[in-house]
Amino acid sequence: MSAELAHVTVLLDEAVDALAVRPEGIYVDGTFGRGGHSGAILKRLGTAGRLIAFDRDPRAIEAGKALDDSRLTLVHEPFSAFAEALDALGVAKVDGVLLDLGVSSPQLDDASRGMSFRFDAPLDMRMDTTRGETAAEWLARATVQEITEVVRGYGEERFAYQIAKALVAARAGQPVTTTRQLAALVEKVVRTREPGQHPATRTFQALRIHVNRELEELSLILPQCVDRLAAGGRIVVIAFHSLEDRIVKQFLRDASHPVEPPRGVPVRAADLPTPPMRLIGKPVRPGEAEVAANPRARSAIMRIAERVA
């Protein structure tokens, strides 16, 4: 594997083990990244197996070509295009779906992407640099209320209103177009923060989630996965912050519990529809050794569910 593909994949063995890969099965990696999980899935597939990998990032798609495997199909689309893409490929059902959520290390570590305050760069933040509005473009037109809602809702930032006011006031004199400008502005407003955390951490996270519609994308793909999973097929989701995990936890819980009959209506439990999913095991977190080797893994949590017959 090339240096471009090399990066530390979180819960690599645990996630692929959880998929219970069958050699002849059809699997989906909804977040290819640099191919860590995809490469491990391909090793377990036989010659008749198939892997369909999605990614919005054109650099990830380009890196994926280095795998040079006829069983792999790369799709340059957000994973919300899941069902549409499967239809275009003539695939009705799949045997497993893996979603490794959030931003990838290459995106964070590439200064030109504008996702980190560690570098001074254009304030882009898009996972797909070929389409959509940049963070700078959105900040140039958003109202105080809109910025407040995004920073508070997606960053869980208690100083969201003060940050929004400062941003709107600052752009009247000079547009906020770089990561350094944004980080410095937030740093002046946020005077207290958890030890070891930069004052702009929550704001950068919130803007990235908003620009890429990350939570909306997640809410859109989960029901598509249930519809397209074959009996016994599994969905494995790795989340990295509470907002993502809340959506996944709630969805899988609802999909694995029987429908509650209307109050007062005499319905036997046997007559209620069977839930489409069942939960597999407890949530999985990285071990101490993995977190020590890769500190970005510390917030990861993996949930697994299986399609019932």
CA angle in degrees (0–180, nearest 5) for 252-205-156: 70
Side-chain-side CA neighbours of residue 293 (13 Å) = 10
Q: For residue 238, what is the enclosing H or E element?
A: strand 229-239
Matching residue, tokens 């990285």: 286
* Residue 107 is assigned to a ligand binding site: yes
Provide the pairing of β-strand 277-279 with 301-307: antiparallel
* Residue 204 is assigned to a ligand binding site: no
* Residue 79 is assigned to a ligand binding site: yes
SS3 68: coil
CB-based contacts of 269, cutoff 8 Å, min separation 6? 258
Single out the residue of 158, 63, 139 nearest to residue 107, CA to CA.
63
278 φ/ψ angles, rounded to the nearest 5 degrees: -135, 140
* Residue 36 is assigned to a ligand binding site: yes
* Residue 35 is assigned to a ligand binding site: yes
Provide the pairing of β-strand 229-239 with 301-307: antiparallel
Query: Which residue positions form the known binding site?
Result: 35-37, 55, 79, 100, 107
Query: Which residue positions form the known binding site for S-adenosyl-L-methionine?
Result: 35-37, 55, 79, 100, 107
